[in-house]
Amino acid sequence: MTLICPVCGSPLTPEPARYLCTKNHSFDRAKSGYVNLLMRQKHRQRGDDTAMLAARRDFLDQGFYLPLLDAVAEAIPQNTETLADIGCGEGWYSCGLLKRFSAASLAGFDISPDAVRYAAQRAKAENTAARSCWAVASVNHIPLADESCRCILNLFAPCEPAEFARILAKDGLLIRAVPLERHLWELKCAVYDEPYENRPVLAAPEGFTLISQKALRYPINVSGDALHTLFAMTPYAHKTARSDAAKLDALTSLTVTVEFGVLICKKQ
Ligand SMILES: C[S@@+](CC[C@H](N)C(=O)[O-])C[C@H]1O[C@@H](n2cnc3c(N)ncnc32)[C@H](O)[C@@H]1O
Ligand SMILES: [Zn+2]
């Protein structure tokens, strides 16, 4: 897929050490292959930090969320050639889907440079680098041309409907995954005296029509270090008092419910 220049909007050509646009705007390419196309932001957003990303990578690599990857793959039409993963994180879903859709190419974007670096490294390690490109970019300003993508993946990441509609081809699909009310409930109960339920938004974003919606709910048995890793990859890791988080030390294993909503939406 062709990235576009965040300054002038013309196509970027990948070279070994940089991306160059037709108007000579140049962007360094990291050793792992990704490029930083994030323009100065009015309100600085950082995205997920290194510890959270490393935890997510370790946890996802253990396969606990494979049923969700399957559900997302099922939602993608077989003949899809162009995918964009917005808020791709460390690239477990992106690369997993590239392996299942061998004729597709994918552009992965995240506002966190660490996330994109991990994703680019994963693509190299999993032999999907030739069909993928990775850029640090915000959901508000995606460096892809208008109507250049058939399917957007937006998994547990911020949603920007107008920007998604701009880059999606006519009749293109938006696939969202969101945590449902009691996602990780037992983990929350183990840590908090008064856990609260999530409040998922299960409607189609503006400019999209919901064509199907699926709830995926199953227990996972998490033991030892994986329990801490699971906690560390969630936003709770930063919001929880040390004394509460330490309650996990007393557990050797825990059966935890995971609950996801998968929404398939079509551009209107
Ligand atoms: C909960 S993680 C999900 C990552 C990945 N989709 C997954 O499911 O493993 C949310 C991701 O959104 C990214 N993010 C947060 N704000 C963003 C923004 N404004 N633009 C792009 N990405 C953003 C974070 O850095 C993080 O990697
Ligand atoms: Zn340019």
- pLDDT tops 80 at residue 44: no
Atom 10 (ligand 1) nearest CA: 157
Q: Which of 122, 120, 121, 70 is nearest to 100 (CA)?
A: 70
The arithmetic mean of pLDDT across residues 68-90, rounded, is 97
Atom 4 (ligand 1) nearest CA: 89
pLDDT of residue 46: 78
The ligand 1 atom at the shortest distance from the C-alpha of residue 85 is: 6
Give me ligand 2 centre to Cα 149, in Å: 20
**Residue 103 placed within a domain:** yes
Q: Order of strands, edge to edge, in the sheet holding 26-28?
A: 12-14, 18-21, 26-28
How many C-beta atoms lie closer than 10 Å to residue 192's C-beta? 14
Which ligand is located closest to the Cα atom of residue 9?
Answer: 2
Q: What is the pLDDT of residues 221-232, one digit of tens each?
A: 999 899 999 999
pLDDT of residue 245: 85
- pLDDT tops 70 at residue 160: yes
| Residue 160 Cβ contacting ligand 1 at under 6 Å | no
pLDDT of residue 45: 72
The arithmetic mean of pLDDT across residues 7-31, rounded, is 97
Mutation to probe ligand 1, out of 88, 122, 233 (largest number of atoms < 8 A from CB): 88
How many angstroms from the chain centroid is the CA of residue 264?
16
Residue of 237 and 172 predicted with greater confidence: 172
Give me ligand 2 centre to Cα 27, in Å: 10
| Residue 132 Cβ contacting ligand 1 at under 6 Å | no
Give me ligand 2 centre to Cα 11, in Å: 8
Q: Which two tokens stand for residue 39?
A: 């323009």
The ligand 1 atom at the shortest distance from the C-alpha of residue 88 is: 6
CATH code for position 145: 3.40.50.150
pLDDT of residue 48: 82
State how far the Cα of 247 lies from the Cα of 171, in Å rounded to an integer: 49
The arithmetic mean of pLDDT across residues 247-253, rounded, is 91
pLDDT of residue 85: 98
> How many Cα atoms are found within 13 Å in the side-chain-facing hemisphere of 223?
3
- pLDDT tops 80 at residue 268: yes
The arithmetic mean of pLDDT across residues 247-251, rounded, is 90
Helix residue ranges per DSSP H, 203-252: 225-232, 236-239, 242-245
> Which residues fall within 8 angstroms of residue 264, CB to CB, at 6 or more apart?
75, 173, 174, 175, 210, 211, 212, 213
**Residue 102 placed within a domain:** yes
| Residue 174 Cβ contacting ligand 1 at under 6 Å | no
Q: In this predicted structure, which of 80-94, 138-152, 232-246 has the lowest mean pLDDT? A: 232-246
**Residue 172 placed within a domain:** yes
**Residue 2 placed within a domain:** no
**Residue 136 placed within a domain:** yes
Q: Which residues of 88-103 are buried (b: 16+ CB within 10 A; e: fewer)?
A: bbbbbbbbbbbeebee
CA dihedral sign, ordered 122, 124, 125, 127: positive
| Residue 265 Cβ contacting ligand 1 at under 6 Å | no
Q: Which of 43, 48, 39 is nearest to 141 (CA)?
A: 39
Q: Are 217 and 180 in contact (CB under 8 A)?
A: yes
Which ligand is located closest to the Cα atom of residue 64?
Answer: 1
pLDDT of residue 42: 63
Domain span including residue 26:
12-50+65-182+198-217+261-267
| Residue 234 Cβ contacting ligand 1 at under 6 Å | no
**Residue 236 placed within a domain:** no
| Residue 94 Cβ contacting ligand 1 at under 6 Å | no
Which ligand is located closest to the Cα atom of residue 237?
Answer: 1
Q: What is the 3-state secondary structure (H, E, C) of 189-202?
A: HHHCCCCCCCCCCC
How many C-beta atoms lie closer than 10 Å to residue 259's C-beta? 18
pLDDT of residue 117: 97
Give me ligand 2 centre to Cα 14, in Å: 13
Predicted confidence band of residue 240 (pLDDT cuts 50, 70, 90): confident
State the total domains in the chain: 1
**Residue 109 placed within a domain:** yes
The arithmetic mean of pLDDT across residues 112-132, rounded, is 97
**Residue 188 placed within a domain:** no
Q: Are 49 and 134 in contact (CB under 8 A)?
A: no
